[in-house]
Amino acid sequence: MKKLSLYIFLVLMFCNFSNAETYDELEIRAVKKLQNEYLSCYAFYSISESAFKDPEDESLKYIIEQKDSVLQSAMDIEFSLLALMGEELLDDEKLFKDKIEPKLEEVFKQLWEQWENDSEKSLVSERNKLCQEILNSPRPRIEYWIKKLQE
């Protein structure tokens, strides 16, 4: 069985619930928004990775490392949500195929549309900054989404 992740801890601590039937839906929705941002970062890093030809390029190695980190974070959230809801816990391969991969298709489509409409390519630096922020400290982003969802 996969060990409990940081995100199970975050969700459990952040939601302050005693059982799965009393969780705060707003907080869960905020964590799902964070997961979508992780997936968007994965798409961003995947697209960025394709621009490199030299497999030894240090920038490429960095992008691959970041891509792996955001994917793992998105999977950790999915795993945590499954645990929270009392659903069957899946191994990494099945979790990716059944839960993450279908979400990625839509994320890639959205990212391509955004980039096609960004003639100055300003989204690249903004996206990289956001990805770094949520990897380094996801809690402020969860709080951002809670506030945004309450509007």
Q: Which pLDDT score, from 0 to 100, does residue 17 have?
A: 44
pLDDT in tens, 96-134: 888 888 888 888 888 878 777 776 666 777 888 999 999
Q: Which pLDDT score, from 0 to 100, does residue 83 have?
A: 79
Residues 18-26 have a mean pLDDT of 55
Q: Which pLDDT score, from 0 to 100, does residue 79 have?
A: 84
Q: Which pLDDT score, from 0 to 100, does residue 11 have?
A: 53
Q: What's the whole-model pTM score?
A: 0.79
3-state secondary structure string across the chain:
CCCCCHHHHHHHHHHCCCCHHHCCHHHHHHHHHHHHHHHHHHHHHHHHHCCCCCCCCHHHHHHHHHHHHHHHHHHHHHHHHHHHCCCCCCCHHHHHHHHHHHHHHHHHHHHHHHHHCCCCCCHHHHHHHHHHHHHHCHHHHHHHHHHHHHC
pLDDT in tens, 135-149: 988 989 988 998 898
pLDDT classification of 22: cutoffs 50, 70, 90: very low
Cα separation, 113 vs 104, in Å, equals 14
Residues 26-44 have a mean pLDDT of 91
Q: Which pLDDT score, from 0 to 100, does residue 120 have?
A: 64
pLDDT in tens, 57-90: 898 899 999 999 999 999 888 888 887 777 777 7
pLDDT classification of 3: cutoffs 50, 70, 90: very low
Contact 44/127 with Cβ under 8 angstroms? yes
